[in-house]
């Protein structure tokens, strides 16, 4: 199954690497930073262009002509980031540029990454409105990278869109892809690298904290979110006033190497950073989407594209059937089973429009071979679920919100 992808704001190639590992074909990539494009080309080859993605009139027709099945990318996040000034300006407007390019090219799928704060921004509200008007159902999930094969508590907003879907169509599958425990630095060290000898011997490491956060972690923890200054040594004011929860003094903790920070972000040890300068490499690493996280999300998307998964029945649909329709427990189980059966027949696809959903299932060969009574039961169950879903108060505890709550407890 071939899914052709164009990546916008590709940076050094973290998202492309993860998606390639999952099985996507990257047909084009764009970024404004020439040094990042150089690193991308050196490691991933293929067509990567330096381009100003604000130039919608130039880039839009180019992307549309490629006819991608998916557009992905992480628009600049500094205007939203906790490490930035959080004043929405030109960089925040790039989120709207991303949405415009999706609307111009109209791929079946899109995947956007940003910091969690972006979800409450005006830029995302405007971008979201454009995407919804263009017919995309949206899954908006805040994911913790440490539960997706990355030894880092990096929390990011991922928005996955698919034409014609109901909102939250992929949330339960993203939740199911989580590991039961967060990945630790010790797990990363299972494949020892020469740089790791000091870190393994000391058993604790220092990373520059956010504001008043903790600076020292042990190997049995995940690293905090990587930023450009992660590998800086402790400053005098931190040494004089360490965080009370530091497991060892910062002066005795290991200082991370650039290679270790790149591995914490999920890059392979043989990734070549070209001759672009150490500070630029630190920035590229910090900006990147961790490849294992991109791969995990890519696997979820491809599984749904291939009809291998279906969305879980959400919320209190069964309770609603009992309270409003007088269904017995057995009848509730049957109704849920029929919704799932119908979704399997539809290849896991949901529909923003109920009439289209019923029309689609009528066109499925396997459905038409079923007995008349069975077809009627499946239609009825789909209508009931659609009726329940249409009431906003019934959808308060969606899977993406559950994921965010669980991750907040685990952080």
The per-residue pLDDT for range 38-70, each reduced to its tens digit, is 999 999 987 899 999 999 999 999 999 999 999
Reported confidence tier of residue 89, pLDDT bands at 50, 70, 90: low
Helices (H), 55-167: 56-66, 90-105, 122-133
207: pLDDT strictly greater than 90: yes
Question: What's the whole-number average pLDDT of the chain?
Answer: 91
Q: Convert the pLDDT of each residue in 154-168 to its tens digit.
A: 999 999 999 999 999
Greatest alpha-carbon span in the chain: 78
Q: Beta 4-8 vs 25-31: how paired, if at all?
A: parallel
The pLDDT assigned to 395 comes to: 60
CA distance 26 to 47: 9
121: pLDDT strictly greater than 60: yes
E strand or H helix that includes residue 287: helix 278-287
Reported confidence tier of residue 175, pLDDT bands at 50, 70, 90: very high
Q: Beta 70-73 vs 4-8: how paired, if at all?
A: parallel
DSSP string, 384-402: HHHHHHTSGGGGSS-HHHH
Can you give 73-89 as a three-state secondary structure string?
A: ECCCCCCCCCCCCCCCC
Q: Convert the pLDDT of each residue in 262-279 to its tens digit.
A: 999 999 999 999 889 999
Reported confidence tier of residue 198, pLDDT bands at 50, 70, 90: very high
CA distance 351 to 166: 5
Reported confidence tier of residue 87, pLDDT bands at 50, 70, 90: low
Closest CA to 221 of 295, 146, 313, 329: 146
DSSP 277: -
Reported confidence tier of residue 90, pLDDT bands at 50, 70, 90: low
How many other CB atoms are found less than 10 A from the CB of residue 378? 21
Instruction: Write the CA distances from 118 to 84, 135, 155, 191, integer angstroms.
Output: 12, 21, 12, 35
The pLDDT assigned to 88 comes to: 52
The pLDDT assigned to 315 comes to: 78
Reported confidence tier of residue 257, pLDDT bands at 50, 70, 90: very high
Work out the burial of residue 58: count CB atoms within 10 Å of its CB; fewer than 13 is exposed, 13-18 middle, 19 or more buried: exposed
Closest CA to 309 of 349, 269, 256: 349
Which residues on adjacent β-strands are paired with residue 93?
Answer: none
CA distance 307 to 364: 13
The pLDDT assigned to 23 comes to: 97
The pLDDT assigned to 314 comes to: 79
Helices (H), 207-268: 236-240, 258-264
Q: Quick check: 21 and 291 in contact, CB under 8 A? A: yes
Q: Convert the pLDDT of each residue in 231-248 to its tens digit.
A: 999 999 999 999 999 999
CA distance 26 to 16: 7
> pLDDT over 90 for what percent of the chain?
83
Per-domain boundaries in the chain: 4-183+289-308, 193-271, 317-399
> pLDDT over 70 for what percent of the chain?
92
Q: Specify whether 72 is catalytic.
A: no
CATH number at 4-183+289-308: 3.40.50.150
Report the helix count and the strand count for the chain, using DSSP H and E: 18, 10
From 10, 72, 77, 103, active-site residue: 77
The pLDDT assigned to 187 comes to: 96
Estimate to the nearest angstrom the gap between the alpha carbon of 35 and the chain centroid.
25
323: pLDDT strictly greater than 70: yes
The pLDDT assigned to 390 comes to: 87
Q: For 294-305, b where at least 16 C-beta lie within 10 A, e where not — what string?
A: bbbbbbbbbbbb
Reported confidence tier of residue 406, pLDDT bands at 50, 70, 90: very low
Query: What does the pLDDT average to over 370-382?
Result: 97
The pLDDT assigned to 398 comes to: 47
Reported confidence tier of residue 212, pLDDT bands at 50, 70, 90: confident
* pLDDT greater at residue 84 or residue 199: 199
197: pLDDT strictly greater than 50: yes
Q: For 230-244, b where at least 16 C-beta lie within 10 A, e where not — what string?
A: bbeebeeebeeebee
Count how many Cα atoms sit within 13 Å of the Cα of residue 339 in the half-sphere of its side chain: 23
**360-369 LR contacts (CB < 8 Å, sep 24+):** none
Collapsed DSSP state (helix, strand, coil) of residue 15: helix
Q: Convert the pLDDT of each residue in 102-118 to its tens digit.
A: 999 999 999 999 999 98
DSSP string, 305-331: HTT---PPPPTTHHHHHHHHH---HHH
């Amino acid at each position: 199954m071939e899914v052709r992808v164009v990546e916008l704001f590709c940076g050094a190639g973290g998202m492309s690497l993860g998606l390639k590992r999952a099985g996507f074909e990257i047909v084009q990539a764009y970024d404004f930073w020439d040094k990042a494009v150089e690193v991308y080309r050196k490691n991933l080859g293929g067509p990567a262009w330096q381009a100003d993605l604000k130039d919608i009139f130039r880039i839009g027709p180019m992307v549309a002509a490629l006819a991608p099945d998916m557009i992905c990318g992480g628009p600049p996040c500094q205007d939203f980031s906790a490490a930035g000034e959080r004043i929405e300006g030109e960089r925040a407007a790039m989120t709207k540029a991303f949405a415009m390019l999706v609307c111009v090219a109209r791929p079946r799928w899109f995947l956007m990454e940003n910091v969690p704060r972006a979800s409450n921004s005006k830029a995302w509200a405007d971008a979201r409105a454009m995407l919804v008007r263009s017919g995309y159902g949206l899954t908006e999930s805040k994911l913790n990278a440490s539960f997706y094969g990355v030894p880092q508590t990096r929390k990011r907003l991922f928005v996955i869109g698919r034409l014609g879907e109901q909102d939250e169509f992929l949330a339960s599958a993203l939740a199911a892809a989580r590991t039961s425990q967060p990945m630790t630095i010790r797990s990363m060290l299972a494949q020892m690298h020469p740089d790791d000898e000091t870190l393994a011997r000391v058993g604790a490491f220092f990373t520059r904290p956010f504001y008043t956060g903790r600076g020292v972690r042990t190997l049995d923890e995940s690293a905090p979110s990587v930023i450009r200054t992660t590998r800086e040594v402790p400053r005098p004011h931190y040494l004089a006033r360490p965080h009370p929860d530091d497991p060892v003094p910062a002066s005795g903790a290991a200082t991370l190497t650039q290679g270790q920070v790149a591995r914490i972000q999920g890059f392979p040890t043989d990734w070549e950073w070209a001759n672009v300068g150490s500070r630029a490499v630190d920035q590229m690493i910090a900006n990147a989407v961790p490849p294992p996280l991109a791969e995990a999300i890519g696997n979820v998307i491809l599984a749904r594209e291939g009809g291998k998964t279906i969305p879980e029945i959400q919320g209190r649909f069964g309770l609603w059937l009992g309270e409003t329709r007088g269904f017995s427990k057995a009848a509730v189980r049957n109704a849920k089973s029929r919704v799932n059966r119908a979704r399997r027949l539809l290849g896991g696809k949901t529909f923003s429009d109920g009439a289209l959903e019923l029309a689609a299932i009528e066109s499925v060969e396997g459905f038409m071979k079923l007995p008349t009574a069975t077809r009627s039961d499946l239609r009825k169950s789909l209508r009931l679920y659609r009726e329940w879903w249409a009431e906003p108060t019934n959808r308060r505890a969606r899977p993406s919100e559950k994921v965010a709550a669980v991750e907040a407890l685990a952080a």
